[in-house]
A and B are shown apart, each in its own frame.
Chain A
């Protein structure tokens, strides 16, 4: 069955540094991959989508890469700020033409001032 793996350990970095989060998947080839941010007690908020034919996408301080050979996506936050502290979720299409989206467990990011 489809499996999405994100580092379960929290990532602690210093303000101003680049945070890099990893998402690995197995057992299928998604048409797209998404990243979401979730704050405690809130629903996830969409950040970026990258399609299978795209290698990289950027949005302000965010950058996402998608390597379909390695079955991996990297999510980078440059010049990180304490306000970036949150849980970041990787999500993939469930292989039904976009009708459903499957989420990883997320990685907690702490940015220290």
Chain B
């Protein structure tokens, strides 16, 4: 069966520090991969999606970036965090035929 895992689960970072969130998927090949962000009490904002290795589409202009170095690995990064980067970050993969999304456990980022 397919599994998705992201880490770290929680982190507190100072403004201006770098960020790296990692996500891996097991049990499926060539998945579509996604990074979403959810601010407190808000809906999910699509940040990036990827349909293959090295192929990244950005949805929102920001100081974040994403990379897909391997088929089942998706990384979210920032060189310098802003206060507004705080939120709950969710990685997901999608079934290609249905579009159904499977989410990871989430990473809660607090920027101070």
Q: Which residues of A contact B (CB under 8 A)?
A: 4, 6, 32, 34, 36, 41-46, 49, 89, 91, 93-94, 98-106
Task: Please give the distance in Å from A85's CB to the nearest CB on chain B.
Answer: 16
B84 within 8 A of A: no
Q: Give Cα A99 to B49, complex, Å.
A: 8
Kindly list chain B residues whose C-beta atoms are within 8 Å of the C-beta of A106: 43
Secondary structure call for the A interface: strand
Kindly list chain B residues whose C-beta atoms are within 8 Å of the C-beta of A99: 32, 49, 51, 57
The 3 A-B pairs with the shortest beta carbon distances in the complex, nearest first, are: A43-B103, A105-B43, A103-B44
Q: Give Cα A32 to B98, complex, Å.
A: 9
Task: Please give the distance in Å from A104's CB to the nearest CB on chain B.
Answer: 6
B102's nearest neighbour on chain A, judged by CB, is A46
Q: Interface size for chain B: under 10, 10 to 19, 20 to 34, or 35 or more residues?
A: 20 to 34
Task: Please give the distance in Å from B110's CB to the nearest CB on chain A.
Answer: 14
Task: Please give the distance in Å from A50's CB to the nearest CB on chain B.
Answer: 11
B105 within 8 A of A: yes
Q: A99-B32, A99-B49, A101-B94 are in contact. Are A44 and B44 (CB under 8 A)?
A: yes
Bitwise interface map of B from 24 to 67 toward A, beta carbon under 8 Å scored 1, else 0:
00000000101010000011101001010000010100000000
11 A–B contact pairs at CB < 8 A?
A: A6-B43, A41-B106, A42-B105, A46-B101, A49-B98, A49-B100, A91-B101, A100-B57, A101-B34, A101-B94, A103-B46
Task: Please give the distance in Å from A87's CB to the nearest CB on chain B.
Answer: 9
